[in-house]
Amino acid sequence: MMKNYIPLFLLTFFLILSCKAQNTMIDKTVVKDLDINKYLGKWYEIARYDHRFERGLVGVTATYSFREDGKIQVVNAGYKKTLDGKKSESIGKAKIPDPDLPSKLKVSFFLFFYGDYYVLELDNEYQWAVIGSSSDNYLWILSRTPNMDESIYKDLINRLVNRGYDVDKLIKVKQKE
């Protein structure tokens, strides 16, 4: 009697494995060229995946500048729950481990623990960017302005869908006008 269940078990097992494999098929290819000098400055967070270190924040910005040691200072700021809420700010650092691939940065907000910061999509004029990592758990859409043209946003959403990202998990971030 048990022998009759083995093929069914194997079929179910392989179906589960194939579904799991499909969920991890994310295109994390980064942009080929990144001029870090053009990338520096203030960016507004237009949308993001939810994660604990930004949960509940609105009006979020990221500002990048060079430090004296050649690394990049990262200042992430936002407001708790409302645009009039308490300001929250985190200061970190970023580095480019491989100068031949400057669009794959490493960012740290705590001691020497670094996370990936991949520039997946970038406007030719550096007006918007899409940031991911080696994991499919992190995703941001950034803009130089607090609001992004809806047609550009839709185009970026389509690009992310084509890359395999679950865009339904994106949270639009309220920004000041």
In a domain, 5, yes or no: no
Quote the number of domains for the chain.
Answer: 1
In a domain, 2, yes or no: no
The label of the residue with tokens 């910005």 reads 61
In a domain, 10, yes or no: no
In a domain, 15, yes or no: no
By residue range, what is the domain housing residue 94? 36-172
In a domain, 17, yes or no: no
In a domain, 47, yes or no: yes
In tens digits, the chain (177 residues) has pLDDT values of: 444 433 333 333 333 333 344 445 899 999 999 999 999 999 999 999 999 989 999 999 999 999 999 999 999 999 999 999 999 999 999 999 999 999 999 999 988 899 999 999 999 999 999 999 998 999 999 999 999 999 999 999 999 999 999 999 999 999 987
